[in-house]
Amino acid sequence: MLSRFLPLLALTLALSTGCARPVGADTPPAGAPAVALETGQQSLRIIIRLHEATEPSPALLARLGSVCAARLVHERAMSGGAHVLSLAVAQGDPRAALACIARQPEVDYAEADARARPQAR
């Protein structure tokens, strides 16, 4: 008789002690920066693809950041050789830094990460 109620008891205990978290509770929402911002910094999530379609090395991110006056942090890889990065600038517009990154010779494309929505027909 007691064995019938054990799963229910275990679930009740897990929920009451805070062991269960909603799915995605530890991931930031889309568009939220992954870098810790200092006072006055502005950030932007971007999608970038390099000519070699390889993961951007820390040295390359540091070089692009110094050339374009931005701090770049790799967040995750995407399909097709693209990568999601967080871009933060201390002064100015992060979109100007994005344009600077897009002009670099090793970059195929760089664009702002925007939420995709289905189009109505």
pLDDT of residue 120: 74
Separation between Cα atoms, residue 89 and residue 67, nearest integer Å: 12
pLDDT tens digits along 76-92: 999 889 999 999 998 88
Is the pLDDT reported for residue 43 higher than 80?
yes
- By mean pLDDT, which of 17-21, 57-61, 89-93, 115-119 is the weakest? 17-21
The model's pTM is: 0.63
Q: What is the CATH number of domain 41-114?
A: 3.30.70
Is the pLDDT reported for residue 40 higher than 60?
no
Separation between Cα atoms, residue 121 and residue 33, nearest integer Å: 33
Is 52 or 35 the better-scoring residue by pLDDT? 52
pLDDT of residue 86: 93
From the number of C-beta atoms within 10 Å of its C-beta (0-12, 13-18, 19+), residue 98 rates as buried
Domain boundaries, given as residue ranges, for the chain: 41-114
Half-sphere exposure of 91 (CA within 13 A, CB side): 0
pLDDT of residue 33: 47
Could you write out the DSSP letters of every residue in 11-63? HHHHHHTT----TTTTSPPTT--SSPPPTT-EEEEEEEEETT--PPPHHHHHH
Work out the average pLDDT over 9-17. 63
pLDDT of residue 27: 46
pLDDT of residue 77: 92
